[in-house]
Amino acid sequence: MHKFILALFLFVGVATGAKAQELQCDVVVNSEQVQYTDRQLFADMQTRIFELMNNRRWTDQAYRSEERIKCRLLINLTEMPEIGLFKANVQVVSVRPAYGTGYESILFSFIDKDWTFQFNDAQPLEFAENAYTSNLASMLGFYAYMIIGVDNDSFGKLGGSPAFDKARGILNLASSQGAGYPGWKAFEGNRNRYWLLDNLQDPQLQPYRESIYAMHRQGLDIMAEKPEEARKAVLTALQTIQRLQQQKPGTAILRSFFDAKADELVNIFKSAAPADKQQAYTLLTQADPTNNSKYEFLLKR
């Protein structure tokens, strides 16, 4: 009996200990363009951002350590107009494993050119869900929830909605209390944080989110076992995305999709039946002419 209780205790302990934060985020701060004597400041900035992204529990979802979402922030500092004030462009990328394989699919890729923030290594970098603490904390929190939301959408139909609601709360606070920092408002551009989130919460673009689910759960997750069936699911998703691109050209989330997926889509269809390969080429070149040179590879085999 004592052995049973001990075994049960150990099992519960292991299960509890297995819960982890949602993100496994690599952070790179590139400061080569900024002339400043104290280079340690940039190392401290990278460490603080890494700790906030990786050490905070962003949701009440239970993640095992191996389930953490792999993602990356590449923060390219471009200016320091005054001491402690920085401008940057940032690439945010997250990946998702394909079921039963070691393959990792790029799920989200977005370049944000509107990062302006204060950083002082003497002050803590803290995020508060219901209060504005700093523009840097708001931008990090916003992208944490975007990464989680997009990932959840790929595993469950519209599963990312709660995370997107959290991102909306951050956007609203930053818009009203953010001292005019760019990227949070509709009139400041058509591919900023405002429009990225607005697209994902737009009922007219809900078919895009449903297609992301179908492409991954009914496509990539069965690709190893049922490649033809998987490609058919991906083609169906592409038909929806191509139609949305025609209806709403230049949409931020659709541009982000092709930035993330163009190379992968070529790889998916390069070994497909000729008819599927031709259909994929037609859909992709119509929806994403920017990457025509990549898609032409489908016609060479």
pLDDT beyond 90 at 100: no
Residue range(s) defining the domain that contains residue 290: 210-296
pLDDT score recorded for residue 180: 87
Whole-angstrom Cα distance, residue 29 to residue 175? 25
Q: Is residue 16 part of a domain?
A: no
Q: Is residue 268 part of a domain?
A: yes
Q: What contacts 300, CB < 8 A, 6 or more positions away?
A: none
Q: Is residue 92 part of a domain?
A: no
The average pLDDT across 125-132 equals: 95
pLDDT score recorded for residue 231: 97
pLDDT score recorded for residue 194: 97
Q: Cβ distance 86 to 31 under 8 Å?
A: no
pLDDT greater at residue 4 or residue 47: 47
pLDDT score recorded for residue 300: 82
pLDDT score recorded for residue 249: 92
Q: What contacts 105, CB < 8 A, 6 or more positions away?
A: 95, 96, 97, 98, 216, 220, 264
Structure tokens at 167: 């991102």
Q: Count structural domains, the chain.
A: 1
Q: Is residue 269 part of a domain?
A: yes
pLDDT beyond 90 at 1: no
Q: Is residue 188 part of a domain?
A: no
Using one digit for the tens of pLDDT, what is the confidence trace for 238-297?
A: 999 999 999 999 899 999 999 999 999 999 999 999 999 999 999 999 999 999 999 999
The average pLDDT across 191-217 equals: 97
Q: Cβ distance 154 to 213 under 8 Å?
A: yes
Q: Is residue 231 part of a domain?
A: yes
Q: Is residue 64 part of a domain?
A: no
Task: State whether residue 133 is helix, strand or coil.
Answer: coil
Q: Is residue 175 part of a domain?
A: no
The average pLDDT across 217-241 equals: 97
Q: What contacts 173, CB < 8 A, 6 or more positions away?
A: 130, 131, 132, 138
Instruction: Report, in angstroms and rounded to the nearest whole number, the Rg of the chain calculated over CA atoms.
Output: 21
The average pLDDT across 106-134 equals: 95
Question: What is the average pLDDT value for the chain, to the nearest integer?
Answer: 92
pLDDT beyond 80 at 301: no
